[in-house]
Structure 1
Amino acid sequence: MPKTIEFIKSAVLAKDYPLHNKAEVAIAGRSNAGKSSFINALAKGKVAKVSSTPGKTRLLNFFNMEDSYILTDMPGYGFAARSNSEIEEWHAMIETYLMTRENLVGLLLVMDIRRDWTADEELLKKFSDRRGFPMAVALTKADKMTRNHINQAVAKVKKMSGLSAVFAVSSLKKEGQDAVEEYMYENWVKP
């Protein structure tokens, strides 16, 4: 069933966040992990801007998920072609959002399935643990691997992260996104 996902608005400052009483799920990941492609595959259409240049998302982008909850796409991390002051502004924007958004119910880490779990991902995991909200991982670009390698990658991330909610997805083949969305809804939004 196609998801009704609508772009609401972009924001930097807390005063500009959309006002509502719905649960929110934040989406984090490296600049080239495929967050926008993931959102578009989930929507079965183009609602998020996809760029061939990593690091284009510079704002918090809010999306209405079938009028039941909000997805917040955060700027990617790990892209070095930005000034130090811009990187600091991004960190402040993301930290403010994650620390102050009271209706935040979970964090989805979108990660290229071919990458290893690094200190950056561990930092996000520790942050979500400290803040007290759950985290899941969507391993994108699964179409670039064999089924055996996919299973190995999922097992490796589960072991490294200590998380059980790790999903392989492919925006190209439109596979796995619905399982991630169902997990987030059933475990984070619905309760």
Structure 2
Amino acid sequence: MKIRSSEIVVSAINKSQYPSEGMPEIALVGRSNVGKSSIVNALLNRRNFARTSQTPGKTRTINFYLINKEFYFVDLPGYGYAKISKSEKDKWGVIMERYLEAREELCAIFLLVDIRHEPTADDKLMYEWIKHFGYDCTVIATKADKISRGQYQKHISIIRKKLQLEADEKIIPVSSSKKTGVEDLWEHIVAQYNSHGYEITVD
């Protein structure tokens, strides 16, 4: 995938702040510190384009990244950080539901989990929420460089079983530092956009 331009258009809280030009979107969601910003940076081949919050669990905005002036990556707020209060969790839920309940531009959601660990109850709840709102779900298994390739299938099987993924839902191991799986991920991203009737330029 040739990246000609990338920019953050808005960090939104309210629906009125969402982009309105009708460009397709793929959203990324996962636990705080699972590596969403690193994955976005790896996809765009930029080191510090997407920045990690200094206070995990506190970011409560939806970040819209416009790529090649054709489509968006949407970085959804992280969840599962133990130190946040119930009121903060409630705010997270409101912001997420507002975005997911009727976003026609949203083609698919990528759920990020750490390949080294069994998905948490929060990960399972997030997956169920994605399916409740009727979206396709792809799992990105982050930090793939932390285990050997020979261990991939074992860990992928654990993730699939724990989340109870549907048979056609993919798990893509990715290492943002080693760039492992980034090309496979791009192919899947383009396929997701195309399957929803959009034509994305790849070179």
- TM surpasses 0.5: yes
8 Å contact from structure 1 (residues 2, 44) kept in 2: no
2:27 is the alignment partner of 1:26 = yes
- Of 15-24 and 151-160, deviating more is 151-160
Over aligned residues, Cα RMSD in angstroms?
1.8
Q: What residue in structure 1 maps to residue 178 of structure 2?
A: 173
Amino acid at match of 1:30: R
Q: What residue in structure 1 maps to residue 158 of structure 2?
A: 156
With over 3 angstroms needed to count, the CA separation of the structure-2 counterparts of 1:100 and 1:77, relative to structure 1, is same
Amino acid at match of 1:133: Y
C-alpha distance after superposition, 1:29-80 (max 9, x if no partner): 0001000000001110021002565335321000112223211101110002
CA shift for structure 1 position 6? 2.0
Describe the SS at the equivalent of 1:100: coil
Amino acid at match of 1:162: L
With over 3 angstroms needed to count, the CA separation of the structure-2 counterparts of 1:40 and 1:57, relative to structure 1, is farther
8 Å contact from structure 1 (residues 26, 74) kept in 2: yes
Describe the SS at the equivalent of 2:90: helix
8 Å contact from structure 1 (residues 112, 140) kept in 2: yes
Count of matched residue positions in the alignment of Structure 1 and Structure 2: 190
Residue segments in structure 1 that go unaligned for 5+ positions in a row: none
Q: What residue in structure 2 maps to residue 139 of structure 1?
A: 141
Q: Share of identical aligned residues, percent?
A: 36
Amino acid at match of 2:11: S
Describe the SS at the equivalent of 2:101: helix
CA distance in 1: counterparts of 2:160 and 2:108, whole angstroms: 17
Q: What residue in structure 2 maps to residue 182 of structure 1?
A: 187
Residue segments in structure 2 that go unaligned for 5+ positions in a row: 196-203
C-alpha distance after superposition, 1:141-179 (max 9, x if no partner): 111111112221122222333243101100110121231
CA distance in 2: counterparts of 1:22 and 1:141, whole angstroms: 30
CA distance in 1: counterparts of 2:75 and 2:18, whole angstroms: 12
CA distance in 2: counterparts of 1:50 and 1:124, whole angstroms: 21
C-alpha distance after superposition, 1:124-151 (max 9, x if no partner): 2222222221000111111111111222
TM-score scaled by length of structure 1: 0.91
Q: Superposition pairs for residues 37-52 of structure 1, below 5 Å?
A: 37-45=38-46, 46-51=48-53
CA distance in 2: counterparts of 1:52 and 1:2, whole angstroms: 30
8 Å contact from structure 2 (residues 172, 181) kept in 1: yes
